[in-house]
Copies of this chain bind each other. A is one copy, B any other.
Amino acid sequence: MNEETIRRRATVHDVARAAGVSLATVDRVLNGRPGVRAATAEKVEQAIAELGFARDLNASLMARARDLSVVFFIPDGSNEFMDSLAEAVHRRSPLALADHIHLDLRRVRALDAAGLAESLSQLAPRECDCAVIVSSDEPEVLAAIDAAQRRGIAVMTLVSDLPASARRNFIGIDNVAAGRTAASLMGRFLPQGGKVAVVAGSLHLRDHAERLDGFRAALGAEFPALEIIGPLEGHDERTETAEIITALLAEHADLGGLYNLGAGNAGLVSALEASGRSGNLRVIAHELTAPTRAGLASGAIDVVLDQNPDGEIREAIAAARALALDASRVAVTDPIEIGIFLRDNLR
């Protein structure tokens, strides 16, 4: 490789020289500090564009006094998947710290939009560069996101998107595709056709609604011999889910398949095992957690679709890192893939 082909990355010095201004002015422009005339700022922006200058994130993090700080707001409560997200944050913490990224985990009450909005609005830009939230679609939250963005805090949505907000990024799976995948598997599991029951947490949750849409569409298009029973709602609660499923099995002795697209899997497994029907019933559930693992192991559940919490946290951190420097751009992240788990390829 020739020396000529190796072009040094442009630095602030290069930008200053090209724009005919001093380092201080470049710094003011880069960091949005006041004291620069519009015309001068324009010259600097142009030099940045011409040189293809990009800040060196590592040098930047080293120079500034405090680490980059990312705050995760994860719902509390009985949802095991949210616990696994929280654990993933803890697991990543030391690794992130080595890269000057400080992770902060705050558990918030599940489905408490007002509480989440309040927490968001109390974030000071000095102590938080990026907030990552799991939230349902409520106006208070949207407003709080927009306000935080204006204060200079990048906000990202995790698991469930809020496309109508000013959120900078979404990290999560394509839930419509997840529903289609469940249908595609179920169809192949039941080549003779039959009845398939669908249980959701609540259809007011965006993830759940999208999964149902995908499931219905794919089943209708590819496996017309299958009849859908439901959807029934178990509100992601183990006892309620167990009751629903017990009743379902009693009513439909010829049920061929069951798709639980929400949580409450502990109830699902206990109901299935109590019924004595596991084995001749194909069951698909979501999220690889303690109850679904137990279900896979016992044979009560055939397939678990999973959104890989560790991967989501990893990508959220990567996105936060990228966003920290480019206040304007949307970070490019690796997409989160839908994991499909059977008893034989458990993580």
Q: Which residues of A contact B (CB under 8 A)?
A: 9, 54, 56-59, 61-62, 97-100, 174, 177-178, 180-181, 183-185, 188-189, 191, 214, 218, 282, 302, 308, 310-311, 314, 334-335, 337-340, 342-345, 347
Contacts and interface: CB of A to CB of B under 8 A. Distances in A.
5 A-B pairs with the lowest CB-CB distances in the bound complex, closest first: A58-B58, A180-B344, A340-B340, A181-B345, A184-B344
Nearest to A127: B1
Nearest to A332: B95
B342 A181 contact: yes
A337 B334 contact: no
Nearest to A306: B337
Contacts of A98: 54, 56-57
A48 to B, nearest CB: 15
A181 B340 CA distance: 10
9 contacts: A9-B97, A57-B98, A58-B61, A58-B100, A59-B62, A62-B62, A188-B189, A189-B191, A311-B334
Nearest to A92: B334
Contact of A282 (B188, B338, B343): B188
A178 to B, nearest CB: 7
Contact of A62 (B58, B218, B311, B335): B58
Contact of A184 (B218, B282, B337, B342): B342
Given A57-B98, A98-B57, A99-B57, A344 B62 contact: no
Contacts of A334: 310-311, 314
Given A58-B58, A184-B344, 7 more contacts: A58-B99, A62-B62, A180-B344, A183-B344, A335-B347, A337-B347, A340-B345
A326 B50 CA distance: 38
A117 to B, nearest CB: 24
A180 B61 contact: no
A218 B100 contact: no
A286 to B, nearest CB: 13
B338 A337 contact: no
Contacts of A308: 337
A285 to B, nearest CB: 15
Contacts of A310: 334
A263 B184 CA distance: 24
A45 B70 CA distance: 33
A184 B343 CA distance: 8
A96 to B, nearest CB: 12
Contacts of A337: 308, 337, 339, 347
A117 B310 CA distance: 36
Contacts of A185: 342
